[in-house]
């Protein structure tokens, strides 16, 4: 994953014991990777991108406490959920799913999260 976002934001920000991860999209590199055309592939790539960002912050998906999923199509919910569950099989975080239009017409999904990761 490219560690440099395409906009004026950081991939993640730590505030005390919390990490706020910016929305991750279904492409390894949104500028060049347009092969992830299905919801399953894009969901997987979102979560792989998130894992990478969290690893760079000294954390992991097991520390996620809240997820927000932005879906382009309501019909993709079940397939997205199947892929999502494979990443959060235990200790599932709280989650909201919002059906909305996304900035790039090829994007089917965007996922952001909040992580509890004490700095002790």
The parent domain of residue 53 ranges over: 12-116
- Band the pLDDT of 1: cuts 50, 70, 90: very low
Instruction: Give the CATH number for residue 61.
Output: 3.30.1330.40
CA distance 9 to 65: 22
For residue range 80-116, list pLDDT tens digits in order: 999 999 999 888 999 999 999 998 888 999 999 999 9
Q: Is residue 3 part of a domain?
A: no
User: Can you give the pTM of this predicted structure?
Assistant: 0.88
Q: Is residue 4 part of a domain?
A: no
Parallel, antiparallel or unpaired: strands 18-25 and 12-15: antiparallel
Total domains in the chain come to 1
Q: Is residue 43 part of a domain?
A: yes
The Cα-based distances of 81 to 11, 74, 77, 86 in angstroms read 23, 12, 6, 9
Q: Is residue 55 part of a domain?
A: yes
Where is 89: in which H helix or E strand?
A: none
CA distance 3 to 117: 20
For residue range 18-73, list pLDDT tens digits in order: 999 999 998 766 556 656 679 999 999 999 999 999 999 999 999 999 999 999 99
Identify whether the C-beta of residue 49 lies closer than 8 Å to the C-beta of residue 25.
yes
């Amino acid at each position: 994953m490219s560690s440099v976002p395409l906009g004026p934001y950081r991939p993640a920000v730590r505030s005390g014991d919390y990490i706020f991860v910016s929305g991750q999209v279904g492409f390894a590199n949104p500028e060049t990777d347009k092969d992830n055309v299905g919801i399953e592939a894009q969901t997987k790539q979102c979560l792989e991108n998130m894992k990478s960002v969290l690893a760079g912050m000294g954390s992991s998906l097991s520390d996620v406490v809240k997820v927000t999923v932005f879906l382009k199509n309501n019909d993709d919910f079940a397939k997205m959920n199947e892929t999502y569950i494979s990443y959060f099989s235990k200790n599932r975080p709280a989650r909201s799913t919002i059906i909305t239009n996304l900035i790039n017409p090829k994007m089917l999904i965007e996922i952001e999260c909040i992580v509890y990761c004490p700095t002790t």
